Amino acid sequence: MADSSLPGTASPSTVSATSGQESIEALGAPTQPKSLLFQILYGLANATIGLGNLTFYTILLPARIALVAPANQTTTFSIIAGLGALASLLTNPIVGRLSDQTTSPLGRRFPWILVGMLLLLLAMLLLAVVSTVILLGVGAVLLQIAINVILAALSAIIPDQVPLKQRATVSAFGAMAPLVGGVLGQLLVVEVIKDLSTSFLVLAQVSVCLLMLFLLSLREMPLPKDVVTPFRLVDLASVFWLNPKTHRDFALAWLARCLIFLVSTTLINYLFYLLQDWAHYTQVSGGSIAQGVQMWYTVYVSCLFVSALAFGVLSDKLQHRKPFVIASSLVMTAGLLLLTLFPMWLMVLLAAGIIGAGFGTYLAVDLALVSQLLPTAHHRGKDLGLMNAAIFLPMLIGPGIAGIALGGFHSYALLFIVLALAAVLAAVLIAPITSVP
């Protein structure tokens, strides 16, 4: 059952100020179109996720580890990244559930974006001055908690406030923004700031500014206190569970998302080694691996940006989600097979564009699809948090798969084939969904 078609939902103009009717307005299906300014500001708010995540893991964390733990850098990185992924996995559903029950006059999501922003600022300040590996780990985990507090609240705004006719378009702004923000963060840190501690401080300031711009534009209906049941510790287990038999379509979408993010996360995490050992970038071009990575990212994100907007708009016009999600998974499969068959730099660059185009379409339309599969309006935040957990689970299992393919069999081709099969399976899982076209 999709939460977008709640029976008895009244329009804002007909809802009076009584408590029960207010709850219908706060939880009902949104009908008011969102302006282009709102969509842009929503995208900028989501860009902070990439600024604080992609930039951190690709540049800032390795550089900080080199200073505080130079003897065991890869091991330290793996441990800190694993702890961060675990924190992300736990934070999203819990904060989503807590925001569902928030009765602040500012609304349900606004206070949590503010909390996440303050935690992010605290984490960045700590990371700017840490001198021990323990404090670095604490700062890194705190940063992941902050980012996922923000992500949980921002994700829930889609079903809360965006009507179906705009949902894939607005999702496109939100979905592509973290990657764009991450690339811009990389350029800012490497080309402009060029100082490690200052980088943390500047990224913190930029993130706060972007989030504040969105908060100034955000208006939410408050949830009346008499419709909320107190959250108890015993309810914690239910935050991480949704019966797959009762909610089959949601479970299928969750598994498909987990597989697609397994593809994306693993590919990006091992990109440096892919260019070094598979495409032999330095021998072919004479440039550094870092330059190759930056070029690959530029092609990847550019194609992702264009496809997310183009197919997000098209999906909204046609009001169809499944064909786009299935096709995007198969496009990513084609890019992976290209990598498997042709270990050459130009083909790797072409594959970056193909995979980026597929992933961009997936990011835009899958979030719209998922938002129409949420079981109840009361638990939008929790259920989307559970869906977001599918993003972070691959961070824990991806290294194991890559370790077997690369460490055990010494084969990038095997890794790409496994990822291609995962993308095909993701497409197969979407096909049986019946509640959304």
DSSP assignment of 175-200: HHHHHHHHHHHHHIIIIII--HHHHH
- In order of 171, 203, 211, 282, 331, the CA distances from 37 in angstroms are 14, 23, 14, 43, 31
pTM as predicted: 0.86
Can you list the alpha helix ranges (DSSP code H) found in 69-195?
A: 73-100, 110-129, 133-161, 167-187
Read off the pLDDT band of 186 (50, 70, 90): confident
Read off the pLDDT band of 16 (50, 70, 90): very low
In a domain, 282, yes or no: yes
- Please report which helix (H) or strand (E) contains residue 368, including its range: helix 345-371
In a domain, 97, yes or no: yes
Q: Are residues 216 and 335 in the same domain?
A: no
Position 327 pLDDT exceeds 60: yes
Q: Are residues 286 and 191 in the same domain?
A: no
What is the Rg, in whole angstroms, of the alpha carbon atoms belonging to the chain?
Answer: 21
Find where tokens 């973290």 sit: 178
Q: Are residues 247 and 352 in the same domain?
A: yes
The whole-number pLDDT of residue 386 equals 92
- In order of 45, 251, 362, 363, 368, the CA distances from 324 in angstroms are 25, 19, 7, 10, 11
Q: Which of 194-198, 293-297, 328-332 has the highest mean pLDDT?
A: 328-332
Burial of 346: CB neighbours in 10 Å, binned 0-12, 13-18, 19+: exposed
Tokens of 353: 């564009």
Burial of 219: CB neighbours in 10 Å, binned 0-12, 13-18, 19+: exposed
Per residue in 125-150, pLDDT (tens digit) is 999 999 999 999 999 999 999 999 99
Measured between alpha carbons, how far is 63 from 130 in angstroms, rounded to an integer? Answer: 12
Looking at residues 53-64, what average pLDDT do you find?
88
Measured between alpha carbons, how far is 228 from 307 in angstroms, rounded to an integer? Answer: 40
| Least reliable range by pLDDT among 5-9, 211-215, 397-401, 407-411 | 5-9
In a domain, 124, yes or no: yes
The whole-number pLDDT of residue 26 equals 67
Q: What's the total number of domains in the chain?
A: 2
Tokens of 417: 């084939």
Looking at residues 117-128, what average pLDDT do you find?
97
In a domain, 1, yes or no: no
Position 369 pLDDT exceeds 70: yes
Instruction: Put residue 245 in one of left, alpha, beta given phi > 0 → left and psi -120 to 50 → alpha.
Output: alpha
Look up the domain containing 162 and give its range: 32-220
The whole-number pLDDT of residue 23 equals 43
Q: Are residues 133 and 78 in the same domain?
A: yes
- Please report which helix (H) or strand (E) contains residue 23, including its range: helix 19-27
Residue 18's CB is within 10 A of a number of other CB atoms, namely 10
Q: Are residues 296 and 181 in the same domain?
A: no
- Residue 320 CB partners (closer than 8 Å, separation 6+): 437
Q: Are residues 216 and 267 in the same domain?
A: no
Q: Are residues 62 and 124 in the same domain?
A: yes
* CA proximity to 305, closest of 173, 162, 171, 182: 173
For residue 114, how many C-alpha atoms fall within 13 Å in the half-sphere facing its CB?
Answer: 11
Burial of 176: CB neighbours in 10 Å, binned 0-12, 13-18, 19+: buried
Q: What is the mean pLDDT of the chain?
A: 89
The whole-number pLDDT of residue 399 equals 84
Q: Are residues 134 and 276 in the same domain?
A: no
Tokens of 426: 């993701």
Read off the pLDDT band of 36 (50, 70, 90): very high
The whole-number pLDDT of residue 286 equals 84
For residue 263, how many C-alpha atoms fall within 13 Å in the half-sphere facing its CB?
Answer: 34
Position 14 pLDDT exceeds 50: no
Read off the pLDDT band of 24 (50, 70, 90): low
The whole-number pLDDT of residue 11 equals 35
Looking at residues 10-15, what average pLDDT do you find?
35
3-class secondary-structure state, position 69: coil
Q: Are residues 196 and 140 in the same domain?
A: yes
Q: What CATH number corresponds to the domain at position 153?
A: 1.20.1250.20
In a domain, 73, yes or no: yes
Measured between alpha carbons, how far is 81 from 76 in angstroms, rounded to an integer? Answer: 8
In a domain, 360, yes or no: yes
Per residue in 371-416, pLDDT (tens digit) is 999 998 889 999 999 999 998 889 889 888 988 998 899 899 999 9
Q: Are residues 422 and 365 in the same domain?
A: yes
| Least reliable range by pLDDT among 230-234, 254-258, 316-320, 357-361 | 230-234
Position 237 pLDDT exceeds 90: no
Q: Which of 68-82, 291-305, 347-361 has the highest mean pLDDT?
A: 347-361
Q: Are residues 214 and 281 in the same domain?
A: no
In a domain, 231, yes or no: no
Q: Are residues 263 and 412 in the same domain?
A: yes
Looking at residues 226-247, what average pLDDT do you find?
82
In a domain, 226, yes or no: no
